[in-house]
Structure 1
Amino acid sequence: MDQVPPTGDPLLIEHRTDRVVARLNRPDKRNAIDREMIDALHVLCAELEAAPRTLILTGAGEDFAAGADIAQLRARRAEDAHRGINAVAFIRIHDLPMPVIAALDGYALGGGAELAYAADIRIATTRLRIGNPEPNLGIMAAAGATWRLREIVGEGLASEMLLTGRSLDADEARAAGLISSIHSPEELMDAAHAIADRIAAADPLAVRHTKTALHAPRDAHPAIDGDLQAELFESPEKMQRMTEFLERNGRR
Structure 2
Amino acid sequence: MGEGRETSLRSSSTGDGPLLIERRDDRVVATLNRPDVRNAIDQATIDALHLLCAELEAIPRTLILAGAGGVFASGADIAQLRERRADDARRGINAKAFIRVAGLPMPVIAALDGYALGGGAELAYAADIRIATPALKIGNPETGLGIIAAAGASWRLREIVGEARAAELLLTGRTIGAAEALEIGLVSELHPADELLPAAHAIADRIVRNDRAATIATKRVMRAPRDAHPTVDLDEQAVLFESPEKMRRMTEFLERKQKK
> Does residue 90 in structure 1 map to residue 98 in structure 2?
yes
- Between the aligned partners of 1:113 and 1:230, the Cα distance in structure 2 is 37
> Does residue 114 in structure 1 map to residue 122 in structure 2?
yes
- Between the aligned partners of 1:246 and 1:95, the Cα distance in structure 2 is 35
Counterpart for residue 205 of structure 1: 213
Give the superposition deviation at 1:249: 1.4
Give the superposition deviation at 1:250: 1.2
- Between the aligned partners of 1:227 and 1:9, the Cα distance in structure 2 is 42
Q: Map 1:43-62 onto structure 2 (within 5 A).
A: 43-62=51-70
Cα deviation, 1:121-142, whole Å, max 9, x if unaligned, reads: 0000000000000011111100
- Between the aligned partners of 2:226 and 2:179, the Cα distance in structure 1 is 30
TM-score between both structures, scaled by the size of structure 2:
0.93
Give unpaired runs (5+ residues) of structure 1. Answer: 1-6
Give the superposition deviation at 1:8: 4.2
> What is the aligned-residue RMSD (CA, Å)?
0.8
SS of alignment partner, residue 101 of structure 1: strand
Question: For 1:10, which of 12, 18, 30 is the aligned residue?
Answer: 18
- Between the aligned partners of 1:244 and 1:156, the Cα distance in structure 2 is 46
- Between the aligned partners of 1:207 and 1:92, the Cα distance in structure 2 is 18
> Does residue 169 in structure 1 map to residue 177 in structure 2?
yes
Q: Map 1:210-225 onto structure 2 (within 5 A).
A: 210-225=218-233
Q: Map 1:35-46 onto structure 2 (within 5 A).
A: 35-46=43-54
Counterpart for residue 4 of structure 1: none
Q: Which piece of structure 1 moves more, 96-105 or 160-169? A: 160-169
Counterpart for residue 134 of structure 2: 126
- Between the aligned partners of 2:61 and 2:150, the Cα distance in structure 1 is 28
SS of alignment partner, residue 17 of structure 2: coil
Give the superposition deviation at 1:160: 1.1
Amino acid at match of 1:232: L
SS of alignment partner, residue 40 of structure 2: coil
Cα deviation, 1:184-228, whole Å, max 9, x if unaligned, reads: 001000100000000000000000000001011111111111000
Question: For 1:25, which of 30, 33, 36 is the aligned residue?
Answer: 33
What is the percentage of aligned positions where both structures have the same residue?
71
SS of alignment partner, residue 249 of structure 1: helix
TM-score between both structures, scaled by the size of structure 1:
0.96
- Between the aligned partners of 2:226 and 2:95, the Cα distance in structure 1 is 23
Amino acid at match of 1:72: Q
- Between the aligned partners of 1:214 and 1:163, the Cα distance in structure 2 is 27
Counterpart for residue 63 of structure 1: 71
- Between the aligned partners of 1:90 and 1:181, the Cα distance in structure 2 is 22
Amino acid at match of 1:161: L
Cα deviation, 1:159-206, whole Å, max 9, x if unaligned, reads: 111111101111100111100000000100010000000000000000
Counterpart for residue 196 of structure 2: 188
Q: How many residues end up aligned between the 2 structures?
A: 245
- Between the aligned partners of 2:27 and 2:244, the Cα distance in structure 1 is 23
SS of alignment partner, residue 20 of structure 1: strand
Amino acid at match of 1:10: P
- Between the aligned partners of 1:8 and 1:84, the Cα distance in structure 2 is 26
